[in-house]
Chain A
């Protein structure tokens, strides 16, 4: 009789203890926000329809979007007014061939001019201020402090492992290189594992986020020295997919579709499964502190492909390749 009473009591006590202990990492503290759509005239302006928007950046009073298909940069006011187009297809100063990355900083635009294999620096009106050639097809670009420019590329995989991040002076002098590429011998698999996003920390430092297989955000100071990485807590879940490649199972753990930084918070656009089981962009942006804390997530009303954080405003390219502006609100 006594034994039968003790067992249920023990189970009840255990249940209470389990319920009282939060999941590891304190996921109960993760705050939820909702992205509220700000009405602009972006979608009604024919000039604002993008072919292949590949990069988005902002400065104090404008938003810039790179359209790789149109070989140009389009500028918008933060109130939603189309301001104009910068550049056109070509090889001359201020012209582009499939531009990729863009960084707006201190009144200047830094453009990774992919198939002209060069970096261009323009003023906000599109006037050519300077630039230099690079020995690869540049993908992403970040202007750091003291005239340093970080440029990255996606290796084709023919030369084994090679650095993906290269830092130059504005005169085009190579200062340092970092981030060796993955090189397993399966080039398509490696191409995904080498996808990354570069973020300027605002203090001359550089952050590099791999899009898969790595939940550590790599950090470098202005001299290229590796700093302690930011390890994103396990509550931020990977999404796995097996690629249709020959050989052993080529499983990718998708980490982020895009990323952005603003002040002390890093936004990671979480990938999600599509209806047919593929991995695609999602509706959530997780907010990670520079110390590695998972501070919350912002839920969007639509799928977003590219993001840029600006205080409580979020500029995003949605699933239909339109530019949208959101404000962060409580859930």
Chain B
């Protein structure tokens, strides 16, 4: 049971990164990264999910921001 939950969460995280955080290659500078991050967070809240799930999405947004800033 725990394994399937962990797998589902991992899938959710990957899905979120792919769907809601534009690729770092599209970001030309750090301003783009912050813009993408803002879109990611707005998407997370607009989905109107439960707060536990939303907090996971927001964490993914932050991870995506860090990744984008490193690669920009």
Q: Which A residues lie at the B interface, using CB under 8 A?
A: 52, 54, 68-69, 98, 100, 114-115, 137, 154, 156, 187-188, 191-192, 195, 241, 243-245, 252, 254, 274, 276-281, 305
CB of A98 within 8 A of CB of B41, answer no
CB of B58 within 8 A of CB of A191, answer yes
Q: Can you report 28 residue pairs joining A to B where beta carbons are below 8 Å apart?
A: A54-B46, A68-B42, A69-B46, A114-B42, A115-B38, A115-B39, A115-B42, A156-B37, A156-B41, A187-B62, A188-B55, A188-B59, A188-B62, A191-B41, A241-B52, A243-B51, A244-B52, A244-B55, A244-B56, A244-B59, A278-B49, A278-B50, A278-B51, A278-B52, A278-B53, A279-B50, A279-B52, A280-B49
CB of B42 within 8 A of CB of A98, answer yes
Write the chain A residue with the least CB distance to B53.
A278
Q: Which B residues lie at the A interface, using CB under 8 A?
A: 34, 37-39, 41-42, 45-56, 58-59, 62
CB of A52 within 8 A of CB of B52, answer no
Quick one: which of B38, B41, B51 has the most chain A CB within 10 A?
B51
Task: Report whether over half of chain B's contact residues are helix, strand or loop; otherwise say mixed.
Answer: helix
Give the total number of A-B pairs whose CB atoms are below 8 A apart: 65
CB of B50 within 8 A of CB of A68, answer no
CB of B62 within 8 A of CB of A137, answer no
Closest Cβ of chain B to A70, distance in Å, is 12
Inter-chain pairs besides A191-B41, A276-B50, A277-B52, 18 sampled, C-beta below 8 Å: A52-B48, A54-B46, A115-B38, A137-B38, A137-B42, A156-B38, A188-B55, A191-B58, A192-B51, A192-B55, A241-B52, A243-B52, A252-B51, A274-B50, A278-B49, A278-B53, A280-B49, A280-B51
